[in-house]
Structure 1
Amino acid sequence: MILVKNYTGLNGVVVTSNLFGDIISDESSIIPGRIGLLPSASLSGVPDVKDKCNGIYEPIHGSAPDNSGNGTVNPIGTILPVAMLQPYSLNLPEEAKAVEEAVHVALDGGLRTKDLGGNATTEVVGDAVVEELKKILKAQGGVV
């Protein structure tokens, strides 16, 4: 109930069963206002910075097959699970931060798909995130 009543009071990992996790992740879409923005992870254990944790990473909205190929799907919910995968399963926390930052920069630049009130296509938003990620990684001296 904390998530519904006071979502700003919750910041972290929620450990629960898959069924209840699906319900919570759908409810959490109230935070950004759209279900298409949020990532989700089903992990094999508790995340630990010392050990990798296997998991399934996905957007909470599912595959949205009805929207396939029309260029209107918001790619952010598909990009952000990569940022979850990196620290938990690949032990790459800095790369995860870079992905999250690239998403923030692209959104802060005003790019919006239809679900967010804009007219940018899936490809345009996705490409903008990739370009921002390249800039961030290059500035950090990483591989681009």
Structure 2
Amino acid sequence: MKLITNPTQFDVIVTENMFGDILSDEASVLTGSLGMLPSASLAENGVGLYEPAHGSAPDIAGKGIANPIAMILSAAMMLRFSFDKNEEAQAIEDAVEQVLNQDYHTADLKSENGTLVNTVEMTQLIVDAIKQG
């Protein structure tokens, strides 16, 4: 309940997998979509499993409507937390923010005036922004 009613009181939530799954589903209302939530399961030695919080979404596979941002941001987390590549992680995060600020969105995000793009197009926009960065 506190996550939904006062999310700014949390920086990080550490929990076991089952509760993490529940909380990430609940937290999706804060970002507007599960497609925006990167995730990591980290060991103390720096090894981690990085994945989008939304899972594989087999019901939309091959339709071009999946939001790639959570996976892209999960890769940024991997660079930062497992490989100590903070500059590279920041470049990815900045590129995602830039593309979203230009009001591009996938089908899971609502935007009255924005540009609807498919999975491949969103990925390419972010790749291009990284290259320009």
Taking structure 2 as the reference length, the TM-score comes to 0.90
The whole-number CA distance in structure 1 between the counterparts of 2:104 and 2:14 is 33
Instruction: Please give the per-residue CA displacement for 1:78-126, whole angstroms capped at 9, x wherever unaligned.
Output: 1110111111101111111111110000111111111113521111110
The match for 1:115 is: 108
**Aligned amino acid, residue 105 of structure 1:** Q
The match for 2:43 is: 44
Q: Does 1:129 align with 2:99?
A: no
**Residue segments in structure 1 that go unaligned for 5+ positions in a row:** 46-51, 137-144
The whole-number CA distance in structure 2 between the counterparts of 1:61 and 1:123 is 18
Q: 2:65, 2:106 within 8 Å by CA — same for their partners in 1? A: yes
Q: 2:4, 2:30 within 8 Å by CA — same for their partners in 1? A: no
Greater Cα shift, 27-36 or 101-110 = 27-36
**Residue segments in structure 2 that go unaligned for 5+ positions in a row:** none
Matches within 5 A, 1:66-77: 66-77=59-70
Alignment length (residue pairs): 129
- Counting aligned pairs with the same residue, the percent is 45
Runs of 4+ in 1 over 3 A off after TM superposition: none
Matches within 5 A, 1:50-61: 53-61=46-54
Q: 1:2, 1:10 within 8 Å by CA — same for their partners in 2? A: no
The whole-number CA distance in structure 1 between the counterparts of 2:40 and 2:70 is 12
Taking structure 1 as the reference length, the TM-score comes to 0.83
The whole-number CA distance in structure 2 between the counterparts of 1:109 and 1:119 is 11
Instruction: Please give the per-residue CA displacement for 1:54-98, whole angstroms capped at 9, x wherever unaligned.
Output: 111011111111211111111111111011111110111111111
